[in-house]
Structure 1
């Protein structure tokens, strides 16, 4: 039975018959506070566990970045908050002063437009996962991961030192160095998602040191971009992984059609499935190199900048005496291009073929499922992708250590089957092929709209 309606005062306050007052809000009121509606409604509110928080002045100081929290302004952020934060009690200190009220008793726990049963079932699954201990990392697993990266890095240098820089050892060295860097990219991904240590501070500290000194990139830059992607995957204007749209690629039929209708032609998008091989990884290398320095200097992240400089000096001192500066430049940038290609194909095989659209403010499970798919499990696929062949499980539980993805996958499949949600899994080569098929389809949609729209 619904509770009796009380009179609503200014600003959503409801009087309770003289015994005191509490502030109650409706979803309609909260939905207006996105910071993007009208000049007099520049407030940003969000909901976590039925509590309403005003983040209007806090979002710019949010440790995880201003944009990732702003993406949930006017929405229910309960599952996103739970997914991203390891030490929730520690994080709550930031929010205590932002609390302005709670949902009215007659309001559902999530937006009325969402499937309340699905939201409830997913939260029960999350509770089951925690009770099963699947969010706890294995120290041995990650020690072995890191050791094999170190051995690959040493082997790359030793190959050039022992055999010289002639053609065969040169390319063997490039292969080993590229593999070490690619595997380090997956390992820093683990650290960034707080899944290596049980304590957030240790994850952040080691991530900062290794990301800067072993990858030559700033951890905060990565966090700022990557968590936006996780918050709203494949959501245009919110997922930074779509930033190359529409400059280089027209991604997704809907957005490609819009581009064509607007008569915009920055590239011949109907050929994008052919130039993806070169421009995809090729543009990522200078973009990353420019972005990391721009970000660190603009944000005054001097520790990150120092670590990046140390990385570049270290690599130069290790290789230049062995092959000279000119050949070292070829060695280094060829490796960066190959690593970029590795990263692009693995990271995009789970997303580009999936639904790409504007933010529809769906529930957490649906948001992730419509934007992600899996690749078949095998020892090689697990290693080659850094376990991102389990992209669905990774997106649903970002802090889960990757060695537990296979354990939670049957539970996720069962929940999806119950609610009629597709759980897509495919072979590795089919996933790569689907990238090109998707690019071809959206390119043709752009061309048709451009010529006939």
Structure 2
């Protein structure tokens, strides 16, 4: 179970990329699984094996994010996180060391191969429907709305002075602005606004840093891991749950996630994150297209006997309160009632 030696017909753990034009060595999952150590990490994307041991520290999303996929098939999370795949593949080429042997499955472990293939076909269908394409006018309106609410709040204070009326109006304007700021920075963090991710990151720094006062680096560091390994213990910083439903490498949990009934008001207030299932499957998809892909996702779940749950707003709120109470009791027992 050590490194792939000469007897295996593959490169060792630090022998460098495959020679350009030369036949790629064929590797087995048994050989790949041993390369998931600090300073020695391989991963598989589209049946090709890459040695990311040294490059992980230069990964734009951080070494921890890409390191979570050591010795795994990272095909689906690769597609989920990157918009311009041809551009990213240029960075992968020097890291290429081999490919999976023809008899090896695309994914290691006990994953449902038919489900994975159906999901990838669904993702391609969404691309064909142009559901990943951005409407600049929509997000331009969002930025204009946020700035208008901020301006109205200041004008209210300046023109009306202190008092109940000005306080109520200012609270409404600022709450609307801050709520949509958070939704917009979420879109920007997932690079679903501009065609060039650089512009997403720069705009996110303005919205998150200047209008909300949060660190974009801190949020992206945690949130990207949450999407890459949703509900996976020691890998998802947002929760401490065991993996429930893993679809390829996207770690998409359906049994621990649900949607909330859609309406124009709720979609606006939540930034369309009431479509939690669709968002976790397609994090770079512009939010206003979730309702278009939802029927396809629901049909996929029905085909494979997976629960696709949609709750009403009151039911969702009650569940949240119950969960918070349960979590609070756990922490209370752990830290106060020892």
Q: 1:371 to 1:159 in 2, by over 3 A?
A: same
- In 2, Cα distance between equivalents of 1:447 and 1:191: 37
Matched residue, 2:76: 79
- The within-5 A match list for 1:208-247 is 208-242=205-239
Highest CA radius of gyration, 1 or 2? 1
Shifted more, 427-436 versus 414-423: the winner is 427-436
Q: Are the equivalent residues in 2 in contact too, given 1:13–1:22 (CA < 8 A)?
A: no
Matched residue, 2:29: 27
- In 2, Cα distance between equivalents of 1:53 and 1:365: 18
- In 2, Cα distance between equivalents of 1:449 and 1:194: 39
Unmatched 5+ stretches in structure 2: 12-21
Matched residue, 2:269: 384
1:59 to 56, 80, 105: 56
- In 2, Cα distance between equivalents of 1:383 and 1:139: 17
| Higher share in helix | 1
SS state of the match for residue 46, structure 1?
A: strand
1:45-79 per-position Cα deviation (integer Å, ceiling 9, x unaligned): 11100011111111111001111111111111000
1:374-404 per-position Cα deviation (integer Å, ceiling 9, x unaligned): 1110011101111100111111111100110
The two structures have a TM-score, normalised by structure 1, of 0.66
Matched residue, 2:312: 427
Larger RCO, structure (CA 8 Å, separation 6 or more): 1
- In 2, Cα distance between equivalents of 1:423 and 1:78: 24
- In 2, Cα distance between equivalents of 1:420 and 1:368: 14
- In 1, Cα distance between equivalents of 2:26 and 2:5: 10
SS state of the match for residue 72, structure 2?
A: coil
- In 2, Cα distance between equivalents of 1:206 and 1:189: 11
Q: 1:185 to 1:121 in 2, by over 3 A?
A: same
How many residues are aligned here? 322
Matched residue, 1:400: 285
- In 2, Cα distance between equivalents of 1:361 and 1:128: 21
Matched residue, 2:113: 116
Deviation at residue 179 of structure 1 after TM alignment: 2.2
Deviation at residue 14 of structure 1 after TM alignment: 5.6
Unmatched 5+ stretches in structure 1: 1-7, 37-41, 243-250, 252-355
SS state of the match for residue 25, structure 2?
A: strand
SS state of the match for residue 183, structure 2?
A: helix
C-alpha RMSD of the superposition: 2.6
Q: 1:358 to 1:423 in 2, by over 3 A?
A: closer
1:134-153 per-position Cα deviation (integer Å, ceiling 9, x unaligned): 00012222122222212211
- In 1, Cα distance between equivalents of 2:202 and 2:220: 13
